Amino acid sequence: MRLLGYNIQYGFGRDGRHDLSRAIRVMQGADLICLQEVERNWARSGLQDQPLAIMQALPQHYAVYGPAFDMDASHVEAGRVVNRRRQFGTMILSRWPILWSRLHLLPMRRMVAPLNTQNPALEALVVTPLGPIRVWSIHLAHVGVSERLEQIDMLLAHHDRVPLAGGPWSGTDDEPERNWTEGQAEPPCPVTAIWMGDFNCEPGSAEHRRITGQTPYHPEALYHGALVDAVSRTGARLHTHEKMIAGKTRLRQLDHCFVTADLAPRVTRAWSDPGEIASDHFPLWVDLT
């Protein structure tokens, strides 16, 4: 099973040129795809409906989209309102059915400067060959460590409550005449999970340690239901982002894949592609047996 985590920067490449097709080309061959910075109806990307364009280019994949925020982009033609929404968010695509999804808006701090925006985490239940897995496409704040730690704490609290909270619905339908469940059993909501996305933090950071719970004394410890860094599990050292800082090029790993401990032994390979220019991030690939 091949996973891809990719912040596509709404189709703008490292060369400053907008061309979503280059990012779509990267997605070919992936089984599970977690995307960040996917947008609809922005002038900078030619009012493109990017979720639709991506779904049309990958017709063998199931897909869900979760906008972090939704702004009015309507206009009036001949006295009639043409409703249009300007959206920005995350997306998940899968070769296997996505039974359900739900969007989580992460804690946000109001800024004076620089610009800060609402960040999302999109959760989807995918029926994979390894069984049902909760797959997450996550985009953490780019500004401050404390804000990211708040966001991580919210995600971990949700993860810990899964055995108690369950999925989008549970229990016996007491209004069968309304056919709420359409004859389906309660949908699965396992602890087993994959978190992929742009976490805007590096390995060894406070945010990274908060997610994995690792200490230098027992670096290979696997807690039941806890999350494991899939990249470090393989021993790989890689980069997923390039930025010019003080006149020098700095390479960093800001994108990560975390899996629950039951999936950790299945992680076989992790790599990125620093030569890819379709975005300011490099695609992150992870293979599971």
Tens of pLDDT, residue by residue over 35-73, are 999 999 999 999 999 999 999 999 999 999 999 999 999
Q: Tell me how far the alpha carbon of residue 257 is from its chain's centroid.
A: 10
Q: CATH number for the domain including 89?
A: 3.60.10.10
Return the closest-CA partner of residue 135 out of 222, 54, 66, 204.
66
Please state, in angstroms and rounded to a whole number, the distance separating the CA atoms of residues 136 and 202: 19
How many Å is the maximal CA-CA distance in the chain? 70
Q: What is the 3-state secondary structure (H, E, C) of the chain?
A: CEEEEEECHHHECCCCCECHHHHHHHHCCCCEEEEEEEEECCHHHCCCEHHHHHHHHCCCCEEEEEEEEEEECCEEECCEEECCEEEEEEEEEECCCEEEEEEEECCCCCCCCCCCCCCEEEEEEEEECCEEEEEEEEECCCCCHHHHHHHHHHHHHHHHHHHHHCCCCCCCCCCHHHCCCCCCCCCCCCCCEEEEEECCCCCCCHHHHHHHCCCCCCCCCCCCCCEEEHHHHHCCCCCCEEEEECCEEEEECCEEEEEECCCHHHEEEEEECCCCCCCCECCEEEEEC
Is 118 inside any structural domain?
A: yes
Please state, in angstroms and rounded to a whole number, the distance separating the CA atoms of residues 287 and 31: 10
Q: Is the pLDDT of residue 189 over 90?
A: yes
Is 177 inside any structural domain?
A: no
Q: Are strands 227-229 and 255-260 parallel, antiparallel or unpaired?
A: antiparallel
181 pLDDT tier (thresholds 50, 70, 90): confident
Q: How many domains does the chain have?
A: 1
Is 202 inside any structural domain?
A: yes
| Claim: this prediction has a pTM higher than 0.75 | yes
Helix orientation angle between 50-57 and 20-27, rounded to the nearest 10 degrees: 40
Those residues with Cβ within 8 angstroms of residue 119's Cβ, 6 or more apart along the chain or in another chain? 68, 105, 106, 108, 139, 140, 141, 151
Q: Tell me how far the alpha carbon of residue 77 is from its chain's centroid.
A: 37
So what's the pLDDT on residue 218? 63
Q: Is the pLDDT of residue 289 over 60?
A: yes
Per the structure, the complete domain to which residue 21 belongs is given by 2-169+183-288
Q: Is the pLDDT of residue 209 over 70?
A: yes
Is 249 inside any structural domain?
A: yes
Is 151 inside any structural domain?
A: yes
So what's the pLDDT on residue 219? 62
Instruction: Quick: pLDDT tens for 124-148.
Output: 999 999 999 999 999 999 999 999 9
215 pLDDT tier (thresholds 50, 70, 90): low
Q: Is the pLDDT of residue 216 over 60?
A: no
Instruction: Quick: pLDDT tens for 42-52.
Output: 999 999 999 99
Instruction: Quick: pLDDT tens for 95-131.
Output: 999 999 999 999 999 999 999 999 999 999 999 999 9
Return the closest-CA partner of residue 25 out of 71, 64, 58.
58
Q: In this structure, what token pair is assigned to residue 72?
A: 């009015």
Instruction: Quick: pLDDT tens for 218-245.
Output: 666 677 778 999 999 999 999 999 887 7
Please state, in angstroms and rounded to a whole number, the distance separating the CA atoms of residues 81 and 169: 36
Is 130 inside any structural domain?
A: yes
Is 231 inside any structural domain?
A: yes
So what's the pLDDT on residue 220? 66
Is 175 inside any structural domain?
A: no
